[in-house]
Amino acid sequence: MSVLGVPVGQPRSARATARAARIDRLGILLTLLGATALVLLPFVVLKANRIAPGDPRALVEVLPRWAALGTEALLVLVAAVALGVARARARLAAALAGIVAVALAVAHAAALLTPPGNAVVRVAPGAGFWLLASALGLMAADAIARLRPGPAMRVLALAAFLAVAGLALAHGTFDSLSIMREYAVNADRFASEAQRHIALALGSLGAAVLLGLPLGILAHRVPRLRPAILALLNIVQTIPAIALFGILMAPLGLLAAHVPWAAAIGIRGIGAAPALVALFLYSLLPIVANTVAGLRQVSPAALDAAHGMGMTPWQALARVELPLALPVILTGVRIVLVQNIGLVAIAALIGGGGLGTFIFQGIGQTAIDLVLLGAIPIVVLAFSAAVLLDALVEALDRGRR
């Protein structure tokens, strides 16, 4: 049926599709996740002691009425922004407000549920909290991606995030939470294991750059060596981490037993030495492969000009080839650093130390909060390293394209 040739009902359905198109698709997913977390999953888990099974509690059960309602109202507002507001700045502000509210709510809940002076009862963030935090974090990350910040802005944002988190931790905002209780017990070891972790990751990276860069240059200059070098490093890369640690135990142990100076500088079958060697071997392939790839993409015309104007081969390498290959080489460094920060965790298995120590102790004691005390800092470290090096690569690349 039609009126004056216009199908009836067409305008209404057209308006409806237009409105539907304006609803953010990611917003729908995030809202569903958030609603599930808030309604169906426990916000916190109350445990009689650190290894006892937990007693789930919802947000409304633990916070005073006004605080619970206020938090929920704010989250509904955030969901509305996620669904209907396209402006990235507004979305980012809403997501950050949501994250702050949820973090304060969990800290407050922990403080309320812990009886004064009781050091045995533990209040851990529940599945609902983690899901809410993930949804809000996803919303913030998406908003930042839509804003396309430059390298300097991204580093500033990371610094601001770390500063706020650091201040909150120093202020004691989260002290009643189970993870911070584990921290309080392990505070003296935490700093030294964290230092150890960073030292192992950076040390193996440094050694890999020192050897990998010349090896990459050699593989580039001598094409006949290239397949052999890369194939060998590829094989190393395929050995599982734990197997490689195991393989290294025997030769390093023998070395320590028979060569006095080796033992004197700390080489042993277990401990930091095999960890460092294994991480170094894993680091070589990305450094060498990216050095080769970086040198190969240097414009032949620029290189011809460099030689034609009278640069010696070393001058051409230092002044033209390496600077032009640097962004690709740094991408390799980024891969290695992020990979190593994660792999160092396994080094704890062979007595290498690092934050992995807490993870494996926690698994042994079925104390999940101790596992998180090791895991969360590792994630933050890896994330920070990735943001910093990505920004560096992009800043270098920008001046040239």
Partner 1 sequence: MIAIEHLTKRYGSTTVVDDVSMVIERNSITVIVGTSGSGKSTLLRMVNRLVEPESGRVLIDGRDTAHEPAHLLRRRIGYAIQGHGLFPHRSVAENIATVPHLLGWEPARIRSRVTALLEALQLDPAVFARKYPHQLSGGQQQRVGVARALAAEPEVLLMDEPFGALDPIIRDKAQDDLLDIQRRFATTIVLVTHDIDEAFRLGDRVAVMSAGRLLQYDRPEVLLKHPADTLVARMTGLSDRAMRLLALTTAGEAVVPGASDGPGVASSASLREVLCELIWRGVDSANVVDAAGAPLGRLTIATILAHGRPS
By beta-carbon proximity to partner 1, the closer residue of 260 and 310 is 310
- Helix 127-147 / helix 88-113 crossing angle, nearest 10 deg: 160
How far apart CA 164 and CA 246 sit, in angstroms, is 41
User: Is 297 a residue that touches partner 1 (CB under 8 A)?
Assistant: no
Scanning residues 319 to 338, which ones bind partner 1 (CB under 8 A)? Answer: 320, 323-324
Q: Is 19 left (phi over 0), alpha (psi -120 to 50) or beta?
A: alpha
- The one-letter amino acid code at 64 reads P
Where does residue 106 rank: exposed (0-12), middle (13-18), buried (19+ CB within 10 A)?
buried
User: Is 55 a residue that touches partner 1 (CB under 8 A)?
Assistant: no
- The one-letter amino acid code at 239 reads I
User: Is 223 a residue that touches partner 1 (CB under 8 A)?
Assistant: no
Stretch that binds partner 1, among 1-9, 55-63, 231-239, 296-304 (CB under 8 A): 296-304
Binding-site size for partner 1 (CB under 8 A) equals: 19
User: Is 312 a residue that touches partner 1 (CB under 8 A)?
Assistant: yes
Stretch that binds partner 1, among 35-43, 306-314, 337-345, 383-391 (CB under 8 A): 306-314
CB of 308 to partner 1, least distance (A): 4
Stretch that binds partner 1, among 63-71, 253-261, 309-317, 379-387 (CB under 8 A): 309-317
By beta-carbon proximity to partner 1, the closer residue of 224 and 401 is 401
Stretch that binds partner 1, among 26-34, 202-210, 317-325, 349-357 (CB under 8 A): 317-325
Scanning residues 187 to 206, which ones bind partner 1 (CB under 8 A)? Answer: none
Question: What does residue 124 show for φ and ψ, rounded to 5 degrees?
Answer: -105, 150
How far apart CA 211 and CA 219 sit, in angstroms, is 12
User: Is 309 a residue that touches partner 1 (CB under 8 A)?
Assistant: yes
User: Is 260 a residue that touches partner 1 (CB under 8 A)?
Assistant: no
Stretch that binds partner 1, among 122-130, 238-246, 275-283, 311-319 (CB under 8 A): 311-319
Q: Of 365, 385, 339, 97, which is closest to residue 373 (Cα–Cα)?
A: 365
How far apart CA 282 and CA 326 sit, in angstroms, is 21
Stretch that binds partner 1, among 246-254, 295-303, 329-337, 338-346 (CB under 8 A): 295-303
User: Is 318 a residue that touches partner 1 (CB under 8 A)?
Assistant: no
DSSP assignment of 175-231 equals TTBHHHHHHHHHHHHHHHHHHHHHHHHHHHHHHHHHHHHHHHHHHHH-TTTHHHHHH
Query: Which residues 6+ apart lie within 8 Å of 52 measured at CB?
Result: none
User: Is 304 a residue that touches partner 1 (CB under 8 A)?
Assistant: yes
Of the candidate residues 49, 192, 297, 299, the single one contacting partner 1 (CB under 8 A): 299
User: Is 301 a residue that touches partner 1 (CB under 8 A)?
Assistant: yes
User: Is 365 a residue that touches partner 1 (CB under 8 A)?
Assistant: no
User: Is 311 a residue that touches partner 1 (CB under 8 A)?
Assistant: yes
CB-side neighbour CA atoms (13 Å) of 167: 5
**Tokens 């860069």 — which residue?**
213
Applying CB under 8 A, the residues found at the interface with partner 1 are 299, 301-302, 304-312, 315, 320, 323-324, 399-401
